[in-house]
């Protein structure tokens, strides 16, 4: 069936080349995930602060390694881009930032993120979200990035606001967490914002 519009991001926009490493001022790096990161991922997902706002836990390093395999496959399929937020030499995982649910025809994606307990309060997450957003909107040509978080998650709201994501509304009872239904804030940033 022919399309009536030209895709904002034609097939191959992302996966024609390898996933980039994106340096961040202040000694941070966004880099592709490695199988050897499984221990760090499993450790972070045992943290109560992560479990409060996420829907899954990692029961083992093998499970975390499978997640990493899926995250790496996202780049090849152009459905998602997942980066480890690491220190400048790339060894220590401090967090994750992702573009998920990519819609190539419309040039849209959802931003998601987390930080390890030891990286919280150091502006790691905001810098990573800002860097991946500028890469997506300014370098690649995405049209729209959305960012959603539980309305009760004040820290995530600060990240959204600090990185230029305007609050567009509240999605009532939109996500079921372990402690019940959560209203979700919907923020967005457009190319040119």
The tens digit of pLDDT for each residue in 103-159 reads 999 999 999 999 999 999 999 999 999 999 999 999 999 999 999 999 999 999 999
45: closest CA among 96, 100, 11, 92?
96
134: left (phi over 0), alpha (psi -120 to 50) or beta: alpha
At 172 the pLDDT is 97
**188 with 154: CB under 8 angstroms?**
no
Partners of residue 32 on adjacent β-strands? 83
Q: Is the pLDDT of residue 98 over 90?
A: yes
Block residue for tokens 């790691």: 124
List residues bridging with 109 in a β-sheet.
145
CA 108 from centroid of its chain's CA atoms:
13
């Amino acid at each position: 069936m022919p399309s009536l519009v030209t895709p904002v991001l034609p097939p191959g926009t992302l996966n024609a080349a390898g996933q980039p490493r994106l340096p961040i001022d202040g000694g941070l790096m966004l880099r592709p995930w490695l199988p050897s990161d499984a221990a760090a991922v499993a450790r972070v997902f045992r943290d109560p602060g992560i479990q409060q706002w996420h829907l899954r836990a990692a029961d083992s390093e093998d499970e975390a390694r499978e997640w990493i395999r899926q995250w790496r496959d996202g780049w090849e399929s152009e459905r998602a881009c997942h980066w480890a937020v690491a220190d400048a030499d790339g060894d220590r995982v401090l967090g994750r930032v992702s573009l998920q649910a990519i819609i190539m025809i419309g040039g849209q994606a959802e931003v998601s993120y987390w930080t390890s307990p030891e990286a919280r309060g150091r502006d790691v997450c905001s810098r990573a979200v800002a860097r991946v957003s500028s890469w997506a909107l300014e370098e690649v040509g995405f049209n729209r990035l959305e960012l959603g978080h539980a309305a009760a998650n004040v820290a995530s709201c600060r990240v959204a606001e600090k990185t230029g994501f305007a609050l567009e509304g509240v999605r009532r009872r939109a996500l079921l967490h372990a402690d019940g239904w959560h209203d979700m804030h919907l923020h967005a940033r457009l190319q040119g914002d």
